[in-house]
Amino acid sequence: MANYLMIVESPAKAKTIKKYLGKNYHVSASMGHIRDLPKSKLGVDVDQDFEPNYITIYGKGDLLSKLKKEAKAADKVFLATDSDREGEAISWHLATALNLDEEKKGYRVTFNEITKTAVQNAIKNPREIDQSLVDAQQARRVLDRVVGYKISPLLWKKVRKGLSAGRVQSVATRLICDREDEIEAFVPQEYWELAAKLSNGKTRGTFEAKFHGKTSKMTVRSQAEMDAILAELQSASFVVETLKTGEKKKYAQPPFITSTLQQEASRKLGFNAKRTMDAAQQLYEGVSVEGRGQVGLITYMRTDSLRISQEALASARDYIAAHYGMNNLPSKPNVYRSKKSAQDAHEAIRPSDVTITPEMLKATATIKPDQYKLYKLIWERFVASQMVPAVYEVQTADIRAGQYLFKASGSKVVFAGYSAVYAEKKEDDEDLAKKLLPEMSVGQTLVLENLAPSQHFTQPPARYNEATFIRTLEELGIGRPSTYAPIVTTILNRGYVIRREKMLAPTELGRLVNNMMCEYFPDIVDVDFTAKMEDELDEVENGTLEWKSVLRKFYGPFADTLSKAESEIEKIKIEDEVTDVICEKCGRNMVVKIGKFGKFLACPGFPSCRNSKPIAVPAAGTCPLCGKALLVKKTRKNKKYFGCEDNPKCGFMTWDEPMNEACPTCGKTLLKKLSGKPRKIVCSNESCDYERPLKSTKKKEENE
């Protein structure tokens, strides 16, 4: 009997795939990459035509030994990692490490969704490893390594230890710094608006008409101008000059690609990019569904293509006809065009099986809240994308008052169409609630109830939030679907950018490093240069450009720039922020430092005094064991918890959120217990039995 081995990246993916294969198949997980460039050195031989030096990743030795034994015992080995550049590179490294090329029994298989049909079809149609995809990944990896490992030591030497620069992170930081410069340079301009509240004199209720001008749109710049207009309007009659009624159609948006999914999840769910991609990865790899076992719920989530398979289109149309009626089904499938630069290897992001509705999933699956919310978003967007447009009756009225013109509009939904399933924007929901204008006719004199002038000032450009930043990266051609979320995570982790009320703002350190990069490494932080580099990587992937030629072309000018920067940049002194926290070991005022995991407090007496500790977060409560401050901390998997500042000596920690309130029974800190039902407030002192219900409020999603 044959013995087959399939290797995927993760245990969850392995579990889902295993149920679709027979007893002859064993499915193992590589846990991502098994080989990479070494962390301790450059790992690229620049003098030998940029030859990379790959090593087994630290801690993966035992796993690799296990995979070697399994591969040796197997008659065939199927490499089923993701079908993008990174996945292709993982398969290539596996084939090399397991000697599959030499033994001639390694087979590359890919699928866009983890379903029985897709997996079995992939096994029937194996292919060779796509070396162009691998080379594109190698080119990106080596480029990023060379830039990072050459510039970062310069930053350590000239600015501060622990800093880093990157090929893409540096231009991303520049975009945020440039936006901050625009905001600071912005000079507000005054303007006024005027609304007239009118009625037809017959029916109850009023409607609003907005001041337009005389013949063309007029901007009122001061109170004096507005006062003059108001004076003229005191004796004016408001007469209907034109009245138009028509029909307007609103068409559904296409199904999601990576960038639009991240943007919409941010706007509608409050998810940051990493949170979105984590949940999407889990949905793709599979969750447990009652009666079906482990099921992959969505197609591959790193894509910029709007293509949908014919099978998926047919399934969606059948579902719409059965559940929403033939009047909601267009005569032909809606087809959406991808942008020219899109890679067509994957479909758009859609449900693997449209008949698995969000409601069904909630009732029958072991699914986390983030997974459910994101699946619902993806499912609704996909179904709506194949429905007919929404139809509105719209009215517009021009109302003449002396020499001035006012404009009013009204609308009413005639047919909901796709919007019965999915409304893309908040405005769409508001449109559904709008009313038509009251009955009136051309030449009719309206009753003026009041005039309401209002002063305004032009606003500076807004800071980016993650959604608008990712949209900007996409529009500028910086990064690709697989890199958008890591770009944001990297610049936050480096301390170059922080979140301020969910918006991205540069830190003082970020601006300082950006200024230096702009002066001495203009190409690295140039948007067009970076976008062109992305295009060249796409050419490598398409097989039209040799990967090392990209490196050769880049490295010569880069090496010259690096040498010039080494000699010209003077040592930059950054003064540490002094705090009022006293070092308990030597009595000095502690200062704020920035490390790999963010800011922390350190004694300025280093190295004679090596005392350091996390920065206490105000209002996190006090430890019930020792009375010291509770700090917000995170696990290695980025899950938030609260721990005593005296840990590990004290040892107290809790997943529940401390409150700024003492227990009325024992005086210890109260905790919000958000897990389980009903949610409640309890005492942090385990020997105290005080508790009370937590009043129901709409819990905001954390944007971690």
pLDDT of residue 701: 33
The Cα-based distances of 406 to 211, 265, 377, 409, 434 in angstroms read 4, 39, 40, 10, 19
Catalytic residues: 300
Verify that 660 and 687 share a domain, yes or no: yes
CB 12 within 8 Å of CB 114: no
**703 found inside a domain:** no
Verify that 653 and 599 share a domain, yes or no: yes
The Cα-based distances of 349 to 240, 373, 374, 401, 602 in angstroms read 49, 15, 11, 53, 47
Give the pair of three-digit tokens for residue 214: 């005389």
CA separation for the pair 568, 317 (Å, rounded): 65
State how many domains the chain has. 5
Verify that 222 and 112 share a domain, yes or no: no
Q: Is the peptide bond before 678 cis (omega within 30 degrees of 0)?
A: yes
DSSP notation for 233-278: HTT--EEEEEEEEEEEEEPPPPPB-HHHHHHHHHHHH---HHHHHH
The domain boundary residue, chosen from 568, 587, 606: 568
Verify that 11 and 113 share a domain, yes or no: yes
Verify that 438 and 469 share a domain, yes or no: no
CATH number of the domain within which 296 lies: 1.10.290.10
- For 302, the domain range is 258-385
**512 found inside a domain:** yes
One-letter amino acid of 239: V
Verify that 125 and 11 share a domain, yes or no: yes
Give the pair of three-digit tokens for residue 238: 């408001």
Verify that 267 and 414 share a domain, yes or no: no
Verify that 162 and 236 share a domain, yes or no: no
CA separation for the pair 54, 35 (Å, rounded): 6
**500 found inside a domain:** yes
**197 found inside a domain:** yes
- CA gyration radius for the chain? 31
Best CA proximity match to 450, nearest among 205, 208, 192, 204: 208
CA separation for the pair 667, 64 (Å, rounded): 54
**604 found inside a domain:** yes
Task: Label residue 420 exposed, middle or buried (CB < 10 Å: 0-12, 13-18, 19+).
Answer: middle
Taking the model in full, what pTM does it have? Answer: 0.79
Residues of the chain with pLDDT under 70: 1-2, 102-104, 340-345, 425-434, 594-599, 616-622, 627, 634-639, 646, 648-649, 664-667, 674-677, 686-687, 695-704
Lookup result for tokens 């979320």: 485
Verify that 179 and 239 share a domain, yes or no: no
Give the strand pairing for 577-582 and 589-595.
Answer: antiparallel
**225 found inside a domain:** yes
First and final C-alpha spacing in the chain? 50
Name beta bridge partners: 578: 591
**151 found inside a domain:** yes
Verify that 118 and 11 share a domain, yes or no: yes
Lookup result for tokens 């080119």: 139
**410 found inside a domain:** yes
Cβ contacts of 531 within 8 Å, gap of 6 or more: 476, 477, 478
Verify that 13 and 91 share a domain, yes or no: yes
CATH number of the domain within which 555 lies: 1.10.460.10
Give the strand pairing for 238-250 and 207-213.
Answer: unpaired
Verify that 380 and 439 share a domain, yes or no: no
CB 551 within 8 Å of CB 143: yes
